[in-house]
Amino acid sequence: MPDYTRNEILYITENELVRKASDLLFRRCPIALSGLLNRSVIQEICMIMAESLGWTAEDCDTETEESWLIAVKYHGVTGKTDTQPAA
């Protein structure tokens, strides 16, 4: 995960009233602006957030898909799933 530790993600989730992965990714920290956002990063973020929010695996899948669609539609992220920065 680019530039953030697990504990930082948990802190943001617990102390900034985050309830959606898209809120954390696009408004609470600059992960989406880094050029490193991809489906794998979103999945990792969702799994960490699940620890704090009590999400199920299905919840994580839903949050991952919703956030990915936002990234593609509104932020110009390509369909790449690797961890390389967008060109």
What's the pLDDT score for residue 86? 42
Global pTM value: 0.84
- Structural domain boundaries enclosing 60: 6-75
In a domain, 80, yes or no: no
- The domain total for the chain is 1
Residue 47 within any structural domain of the chain: yes
Which ranges in the chain belong to alpha helices (H)?
A: 6-15, 21-23, 39-53, 57-75
pLDDT, position 84: 44
Axis-axis angle for helices 39-53, 6-15 (nearest 10): 60
- Domain-embedded: residue 27: yes
Q: What are the pLDDT tens digits along the chain (87 aa)?
A: 667 899 999 999 999 999 999 999 999 988 888 888 999 999 999 999 999 999 999 999 999 999 999 999 998 888 755 444 444
Q: Is residue 86 part of a domain?
A: no
Does 83 map to a domain?
no
d(CA 59, CA 32) in angstroms, rounded, equals 21
- 71 part of a folded domain: yes
Q: Is residue 16 a part of any domain in this protein?
A: yes
